[in-house]
Amino acid sequence: LKRVTVPRETLPRFLAIAKINTSLNRETCGLLLGKDRGHKYVVTTLLIPKQHATSDTCTMDDEELVLEFTEERSLITLGWIHTHPSQSCFMSSVDLHTHSAFQCMLPESFAIVCAPKYNPTFGIFRLTDPPGLKIILDCQAKEAFHPHPDKPIYTDADREHVYLKEAHLEIVDLR
């Protein structure tokens, strides 16, 4: 996998944006966009799409606006970030299914989960491959929240290929 660098300020700045929703026990989500620099990917932009949320889900609205934005600026979706306002830091079954689509498109794709009320307050994750990605893609469960086999389905991406570093971050809020 290529290395991915994420501006260190992404986490506190995203949590500040999500603060009102978090206080209302609603999730907030964002996309981490960037560029392919040949030997690595670099996150340059945090995009907050139009969205609607509950205490344990967040869904993007008007996805065509996101596509338009990324295409106009020649940006790649490298990962996504969302809050768990009242839960701990982990990938729920909904998160795993959401992330499988990202990781199919780009193997380096990652998910950041922010859980401001818990320790650790954040995690940077990806599906294992194998076996996690295939398990999730083959999953036929109809309910949103459901169990998966007791195998290592996801892992910490920040121990593998995602690194936080001092760098500029552009924030665009489409809400």
Sequence spans of domains, the chain: 3-173
CB 31 within 8 A of CB 99: no
Give 172's pLDDT tier (boundaries 50, 70, 90): very high
Cα–Cα distance measured from residue 76 to residue 106, given in angstroms and rounded to the nearest whole number: 9
Cα–Cα distance measured from residue 44 to residue 12, given in angstroms and rounded to the nearest whole number: 15
**What are the tens digits of pLDDT across the range 64-114?**
999 999 999 999 999 999 999 999 999 999 999 999 999 999 999 999 999
Token duo for residue 61 = 């609205």
Cα–Cα distance measured from residue 155 to residue 119, given in angstroms and rounded to the nearest whole number: 17
What is the full DSSP assignment across 119-145?
A: SS-EEEEEE-TTTHHHHHHH----SSS
Pairing assessment for the beta strands 76-83 and 29-36 based on DSSP bridges:
antiparallel
- What are the distances in angstroms from CA 2 to CA 8, 39, 40, 68, 92? 19, 6, 5, 26, 26
Cβ contacts of residue 28 below 8 Å, gap of 6+?
Answer: 14, 17, 18, 21, 22, 48, 51, 53, 58, 82, 83
Give 116's pLDDT tier (boundaries 50, 70, 90): very high
> CB burial class (10 A; 0-12, 13-18, 19+) of residue 120?
exposed
Identify the architecture of domain 3-173 in CATH: 3-Layer(aba) Sandwich (3.40)
The DSSP H or E segment spanning 23 is helix 10-23
Give 155's pLDDT tier (boundaries 50, 70, 90): very high
